[in-house]
Amino acid sequence: MIFVDVIGFVAALCTTLSFAPQLIKVLKTGDTSSLSLLMYVVFTFGVSLWLVYGLLREDIPLIIANGVTLLLAGIILSKKIRNDYFLSKKTLKE
């Protein structure tokens, strides 16, 4: 492994792990009220594009980082959508 790849893996690890605290908080509390839906939609779309870019370039650090980040951000986004649209409609009906 060359030095450039090590930098890529360390950068990927840092940026990907930065989502762990947010995910843990959302999973523990279920609260997503302070999160921006638009931000998570745009971010998740951008990470998806980075993943495709990494796949097309066959860049392992990009593929791993963006694959894991997409999973974490996707979980948070799905909880946000569920809370904003499905739970709020259920509350309104009651």
Range of the domain at 21: 3-93
The structural domain count of the chain equals 1
Give the Cα separation of 76 and 39 in Å (integer). Answer: 11
Question: By the 8 A CB rule, do 74 and 44 touch?
Answer: yes
Q: What is the greatest pairwise CA distance in the chain? A: 60
Give the Cα separation of 30 and 76 in Å (integer). Answer: 10
Total-model pTM: 0.82
Written as six digits, the tokens of 6 are 């090590």
Give the Cα separation of 72 and 88 in Å (integer). Answer: 23
**Digit-coded pLDDT (tens) for 9-60:** 898 889 888 889 999 999 999 999 999 999 999 999 999 999 999 999 999 8
Supply the CATH number for residue 89's domain.
Answer: 1.20.1280.290
Confidence bin at 90 (pLDDT 50/70/90): low
